[in-house]
Chain A
């Protein structure tokens, strides 16, 4: 079996993060096709990168995980100041400045880069997940000819740094999570000639008992649901603003249910109900009974929560300013989108007033997930691309 290494800045069952969770999912699904190892740091949180995991090597769900110590923690305040300076237009940014910024961004882990360099011939392929961090930016340079990049790219200021050009142009292959990401990266780096595929994850759904399903329906009645971190960066401030205005203008019994960790204040409103962090079973039961899942975020690479909603035949209402989310709606016909308050209100009322259309959207969402987001399809695409990259 060919031996591949997946590199991510963090890895573990306790780690909360989109790209980290994605890395764990694909590692566990690829272990039948390849000898898979994880190369990662000992950090558990992405703010300080403090070394928390004690073991150098451990096994998690049948995958060997090699951990390397970060040489230093990140000081958030200092990093914020460096970032503000480097993004300031008066500041004539050089490669040296960008290089220092990468080191400050972290996780500062020269040991992982050293390991990759010394063990280049012991692996057939190195797969780097997330372009942004030190582990990818430094590590990939040691093994360009044996590397696959899974960038999870957004249109954000850092991607335009010169230091990332080589990362996107010299790798052997690229995996994009969405068509929109591919279009953006190809346009930004003119790297269409690099072999690539567009594939994401399969969607697994735990069994939801009839009791759980009925419990939600009986307790909350008619509701829309938001699942995820409750944060300004996820567009939740606009969501609350819009929902409160919606309730002022529309006298009905609709509620907004929230499921996730709150890192911002939630308005005190009788129809906004925060359930906090819930179990997977409760999450799916909640989404299953919702009139729609609402996702107000501007920046999404993939949105597993939208795909999970489709899996249980719940349509979605999403922020139309996010090309990835709008793309899911257009390709599936299983959701509506908004770009201002009145479109938000219009989309919501349309969903509530057209139960038959809503039901059909739900069915179409399930069909979309079954077509593009099944594990056998994802594993096949990744396997073919990785083998092609190995064979040259």
Chain B
């Protein structure tokens, strides 16, 4: 029997589309997804102002780049400004999530303790 998992995955995805499930948005917060993307954003927010040309015609490309700087540089800088603010916000959010997680963990501990005390008092 031949098994090809990509064909099976295609079949699964076709069924999802056939049942209209692909149109439903994925609900709910995934902390792991959030942290992974926050990491990617922290690493890739900065658009370099100058990129050394590669491949053929480096001299021409360098010259062209210098000519177009007047148009490109202000836009790159503006974008980077926005990116910094976005990353700053995300990092603040990350810290907030951490604080809330800790608060929730402590509350859960208290609840578990109280439930146990209640259960024990009922036995008596």
Contacts and interface: CB of A to CB of B under 8 A. Distances in A.
Interface of A: 84, 87-90, 156-157, 160, 232-233, 235, 237-238, 241, 265, 298, 321, 329-330, 333-337, 340-343, 346-347, 350, 356-357, 360-361, 364
A336 B84 contact: no
Contacts of A84: 91, 95
B8 A89 contact: no
A265 B42 contact: no
B32 interface: yes
B88 A90 contact: yes
Interface in B77-109: 83-84, 87-88, 91, 95, 105, 108
Contacts of B6: 330
Q: Which 10 residue pairs across A and B have the least CB separation, nearest first?
A: A346-B12, A89-B87, A342-B21, A342-B16, A333-B3, A360-B1, A157-B39, A87-B42, A333-B5, A360-B3
Interface string B1-35: 10111101101110110000110101010111100
Interface of B: 1, 3-6, 8-9, 11-13, 15-16, 21-22, 24, 26, 28, 30-33, 36, 39, 42-43, 45-46, 83-84, 87-88, 91, 95, 105, 108
Given A336-B9, A360-B1, A89 B26 contact: no
Given A87-B42, A342-B21, A357 B30 contact: no
17 contacts: A88-B91, A89-B45, A89-B84, A89-B87, A157-B43, A232-B32, A321-B36, A330-B5, A333-B3, A334-B5, A335-B5, A336-B12, A337-B9, A346-B13, A346-B16, A357-B8, A361-B3
